[in-house]
Amino acid sequence: METMKRTKSNGSKRKPKPAAADPGALGGELTARQVKTIPAILEAPSIEAAARTAGVAKSTLYEWIRQDPFRLALEAARGDIYREGIDTLKGAARKAAGRLIELLDSKNENTRRLTAREILALSMKVEETQTLEKRLTAVEEALDASEPAARGAK
């Protein structure tokens, strides 16, 4: 039998909250309040500020963050924001590259020199990244090819 607790505000009885360690505490679903709180966390400079904005106790917010459904939804929302930012930067890369190329024709010798140096440095970085990616792919393919032989040896 569950024991009822008295609320602070009016002394009425209520059921206790499920323990944070209880995996079924949220039933795998987020409440409307939790869904509303995620944007507040993403926009606020701190958890405390997010709790104030969302109208949630700081301790409640920390409890939610420890629970898998909420934490996973928060991580997914952060990932979405990161991917959107990367897409924005990719869109601006063409414009930035065009501007660098324009600067190669500058009347100022120092500007032309620094621009050429920057373009060469970026080109070398791209080449290095592509080489590392090819090597990593080759290693992954070799590991994948060796797995069936390793499984047969067990």
Pair (99, 30) in one structural domain: yes
Query: With bands split at pLDDT 50, 70 and 90, how would you rate the model's confidence at 29?
Result: confident
Helix (H) or strand (E) run with residue 13 in it = strand 13-14
Residue 96: per-residue pLDDT: 93
Largest distance between two CA atoms of the chain: 85
104-132 pLDDT tens trace: 999 999 999 999 999 999 999 999 999 99
Q: Specify if 43 maps to a domain.
A: yes
Query: How many domains does the structure of the chain reveal?
Result: 2
Pair (61, 125) in one structural domain: no
Q: Specify if 18 maps to a domain.
A: no
Please say whether the beta carbons of 112 and 103 come within 8 A. Answer: yes
**CATH code for position 94:** 1.10.10
52-94 pLDDT tens trace: 999 999 999 999 999 999 999 999 999 999 999 999 999 899 9
Neighbouring C-beta atoms of residue 53, cutoff 10 Å: 15
CA 27 – CA 130 distance, rounded (Å)? 45
48 SS3 class:
helix
Residue 148: per-residue pLDDT: 72
Pair (31, 91) in one structural domain: yes
Please say whether the beta carbons of 2 and 16 come within 8 A. Answer: yes
Pair (133, 77) in one structural domain: no
Q: Specify if 132 maps to a domain.
A: yes
Pair (97, 134) in one structural domain: no
Pair (31, 68) in one structural domain: yes
Pair (121, 98) in one structural domain: no
Structure tokens at 34: 């939790």
Query: With bands split at pLDDT 50, 70 and 90, how would you rate the model's confidence at 147?
Result: confident
Q: Specify if 10 maps to a domain.
A: no
The alpha carbon torsion through 79, 80, 82, 85 (nearest 10 deg) reads 170
Q: Specify if 17 maps to a domain.
A: no
Structure tokens at 126: 């791209």
pLDDT reading at 2 higher than 70: no
Percent of the chain with pLDDT over 90: 74
Bridge partners, residue 55, by sequence: none
Residue 21: per-residue pLDDT: 34
Q: Specify if 137 maps to a domain.
A: yes
Q: Which domain holds residue 122?
A: 116-144
Query: With bands split at pLDDT 50, 70 and 90, how would you rate the model's confidence at 47?
Result: very high
Bridge partners, residue 6, by sequence: 13
When the pLDDT of each residue in the chain is averaged and rounded to a whole number, the result is 84
